[in-house]
Structure 1
Amino acid sequence: MEKSMMLNVRVSPSVKQQAEDVLKQLGIPMATAIDMYLRQITLTGGIPFSLSLPKAPAALNADTMTDDQLHAALQVGIKEIQNGDTVDAASAFAQFREQHR
């Protein structure tokens, strides 16, 4: 089918780059991925994936902690830093992504 419409979209440069990196690994051009997304909206009659806020485990959710629980958790973190029990951000995020595939 011939493509005859142009679509201009403003997105965050970092989001675009991250998406391009993934799409490149899949061998899918950005235009094809956008076309696929729009087709899925048409086929499903809506957004083709679930939309929800991520759920933080209660043990990590400061909104559900008492002041004493939050203070205790922060003290544990401070002790870990003082003991040198830390991981650089890049490694931590890589580990997180690996665990949550």
Structure 2
Amino acid sequence: MAKTEVYQIRLDSEEKKQAFAVFKQLGLTPAQAVRMFFRQVVMTQSIPFSIENKMTFAPIPAREEVQDENHQDLFLELDQILNQKQNSQ
């Protein structure tokens, strides 16, 4: 059996509830859905879906300035990853 690890994440309560309902409709457990996502990331070496920013966000402060529970630093990290990918193409 392959070695496994536990990884914890924080989710918006309503978003979690809605996503878990979809997983249930598809006959998947949340753990199975997450493992499927990770497997696709490994297989495709990318995020396995299109990422489009259709929302307008206020300017994101530097990491040192972010101290709230909204985890805005995740948006900063995503922007950095997407910019690196665009620059490498």
Aligned length: 55
| Larger proportion of helix | 1
What runs of 5+ residues in structure 2 fail to find an aligned partner? 56-89
Q: Highest CA radius of gyration, 1 or 2?
A: 1
1:23 and 2:38 correspond? no
What runs of 5+ residues in structure 1 fail to find an aligned partner? 56-101
Give me the identity figure in percent: 38
CA distance in 1, matches of 2:32, 2:25: 14
Q: Which residue of 2 aligns with 1:75?
A: none
> What is the CA-CA distance between 1:2 and the residue it aligns to?
4.5
Equivalent position SS for 2:42: helix
Higher RCO, Cα 8 Å, sep 6+: 2
Give the 3 Å change call, closer, same or farther, for CA 47–34 of structure 1 in structure 2. Answer: same
1:39 and 2:32 correspond? no
Match runs of 1:17-96 below 5 Å: 17-54=17-54
- Give TM-score, length-normalised by structure 1: 0.50
Query: RMSD in angstroms over aligned alpha carbons?
Result: 1.8
